[in-house]
Amino acid sequence: MRQTSTAPRNNKLKPSSNLIMNGSVRVRVIRTLLAIQNGQSLASVLDPLLNSLHDGDKGFAHALLLTTLRQWHALARLLDTLADNPIDEVEVRTTIQVGLVQLLYLEVADHAAIHETVEAAKEIEFAHATGLINAILRKVAKNPSKFRKKCDKKHSLPNWLAYQLKQDWSEQYDDLMQGLRQPAPMFLRVNTAVTSVADYQQALDGAEIDADLVELTSGFNLSNSSDTASSNSILTKGLRLHQSTAVNALPQFSEGAASVQDMHAQLAAPLIHSALLNKLSIKNDDVDVDTDTNNNNNEVRILDACAAPGGKLAHWLELISSNDSTLFHVKQNDESVPLVSKVKLTAIDNEAPRIERIHTNLQRLNLSQHDLQQAEKNVELNIVCADATTWQGAGKKKSKLVFDAILLDSPCTATGVIRRHPDISILRTEEDVEQTTLLQADILHNLWPQLKVGGYLLYVTCSILKQENVEQMQDFMTYYNNITAVEFSDDCNWGIEQAIGRQCLPIDSESGDGFYYALLQKTAE
């Protein structure tokens, strides 16, 4: 996806595919920023940048790049007030903004920031602008606190996005605008099949990594087999690190003891899993197995749609295959009785490289199909490269009622994770929102007919735009007369209640990202 520049593009801007990683640290950061403006994602250019540098330079380069991206639009507006005439050359604008970040946010010594930035302009063959760059940076260096206040005063988003967020979140707008400019905290999900959250926190302490326990409580009212409402409560535990840490420094990371996953993202698997258990009519210690005629030999079929890179899928597999899973170990008359004979979990995504990432992540967590078989788990995992707008789980079979539960981690504009991926504010356009909502609707309309009566679909996005979330749900529900939107109860200590579902906002430095959740149940027509 491409972005409309804050200034006209210059024909000398090299294509992102020709990204060259040589020269000084600042030159490499400037070239990386130019590549992002030319359509490349941060994810695709960050590793090439860091891998091209000596270890001693990586920290500075990372901070310079990420901070420049987070403050990008605010810096651009400040730059427009500092120049006597419009600066149209995108390379010159980018170089100055890199210089401004050093002076205003990274506390680099004035002489070093100015001199090295001017030299960087020469290296990228824009020596004709060195006088202008030098003059602007010297002006700012005389009173950095004044210009920092100017830069921090308003938002650092494209105007179209800031306007839409003002419409959607007027009460939270000011806090949201500042929150999106800050780094996101690092959260860990502990694989409870390997260790407990408490034990892993102790292991982190032993490695001199400070972490706080975070507990999110979820509650909703679900209809059970007696057509009455049952209230449940789900406790999701995660760990928030005081400082971001390289994964290779985390205890037992390579053995699958923990995964890096945002705290609000950790809600997805427990929510859909709890809904699945309800669909199978579990209430307290009583077992009333769903006798759906489409359930061959009491097998349960579930779907994770748009599953890459696999974090939510892995979490769901951990819950399903854990030794105390109530799917396979339910006490009845003092005996352990399996509720289901097998769980068939299908995961789909439409890009082969992303499918490969799923396999890699599951292998690290010992959750591949081979691992599940070796552990004698009654779980059949099938990972398919397919388009969720057209894919049919039943194949050529007559019946389309296939799945007991569907987790739809829907494509979205990812505006809720701008703190982690600040390039989003450069790459996204208003047109992207329209195209994304159409794609979401296509996927929903394809998957809903494949859900069994009584089954649940959990709709998840990492967007904070209502058009992709609650408004999408409201529109979708007008097409069918067999949908019930499940209400989340007051037990929830996360998110903001919406007409349908709940919305998390990335407002403070300790909170998770901007995720939206809506749980839909299929009823008989």
Per the CB < 8 A criterion, the answer to whether 69 and 422 are in contact is yes
Collapsing DSSP to helix, strand or coil, 291 comes out as: coil
Instruction: Identify which has the larger pLDDT, 230 or 364.
Output: 364
Q: Would 16-154 and 264-522 be classified into the same CATH topology?
A: no
* pLDDT given for residue 50 in this prediction: 95
Confidence of residue 282 (pLDDT cuts 50, 70, 90): very low
Give the pairing of strands 342-349 and 379-385.
parallel
* pLDDT given for residue 322 in this prediction: 79
What is the residue-averaged pLDDT of the chain? 89
Residue-range domain boundaries for the chain: 16-154, 264-522
The answer to whether the Cα torsion of 197, 202, 208, 210 is positive or negative is: positive
- What is the average pLDDT across 314-340? 71
Could you give the CA distance from residue 268 to residue 312 in angstroms, rounded to a whole number? 7
Alpha helices in 286-367 (DSSP H): 311-321, 352-364
Per the CB < 8 A criterion, the answer to whether 279 and 455 are in contact is yes
DSSP 8-state secondary structure symbol assigned to residue 146 = H
Collapsing DSSP to helix, strand or coil, 228 comes out as: coil
Contacts of 31 (CB under 8 A, 6+ apart): 14, 19, 20, 21, 23, 124
Q: Is 438 exposed, middle or buried (0-12, 13-18, 19+ CB in 10 A)?
A: exposed
Do you know the residue count of the chain? 525
Confidence of residue 155 (pLDDT cuts 50, 70, 90): very high
CA distances (Å), 137 to each of 343, 346, 389, in order? 62, 55, 51
Per the CB < 8 A criterion, the answer to whether 219 and 491 are in contact is yes
Token pair of 104, please? 């205003």
Confidence of residue 328 (pLDDT cuts 50, 70, 90): low
- What is the average pLDDT across 27-36? 97
Could you give the CA distance from residue 89 to residue 10 in angstroms, rounded to a whole number? 5
Architecture of domain 264-522: 3-Layer(aba) Sandwich (3.40)
Q: What pairs with residue 344 in β-bridges?
A: 301, 380
* pLDDT given for residue 2 in this prediction: 30
- What is the average pLDDT across 85-94? 95
Helix (H) / strand (E) element for 475: namely helix 470-477
Q: What pairs with residue 283 in β-bridges?
A: 286
Q: Is 501 exposed, middle or buried (0-12, 13-18, 19+ CB in 10 A)?
A: buried
What's the predicted TM-score (pTM) here? 0.91
Give the pairing of strands 403-409 and 299-305.
parallel
Encode burial over 361-378: b for 16+ CB neighbours within 10 A, e otherwise.
bbebbbbbbebbeeeebb
* pLDDT given for residue 301 in this prediction: 95
Tell me: the pLDDT tens digits for 178-215? 999 999 999 999 998 889 999 999 999 999 999 999 99
* pLDDT given for residue 241 in this prediction: 98
Could you give the CA distance from residue 318 to residue 144 in angstroms, rounded to a whole number? 50
* 289 has a pLDDT exceeding 50: no
- What is the average pLDDT across 404-433? 97
Confidence of residue 490 (pLDDT cuts 50, 70, 90): confident
Could you give the CA distance from residue 443 to residue 317 in angstroms, rounded to a whole number? 23
- What is the average pLDDT across 427-436? 96
Backbone φ, ψ for residue 214 (5° rounding) = -120, 130
Nearest to 406 by CA among 307, 261, 262, 505: 307
> May I ask the CATH class of domain 16-154?
mainly alpha
Q: Where in the sequence numbering do the catalytic residues fall?
A: 462
* 223 has a pLDDT exceeding 80: no
Strands (E), 125-284: 187-190, 211-223, 229-241, 258-260, 282-283
Tell me: the pLDDT tens digits for 452-477? 999 999 999 999 999 999 999 999 99
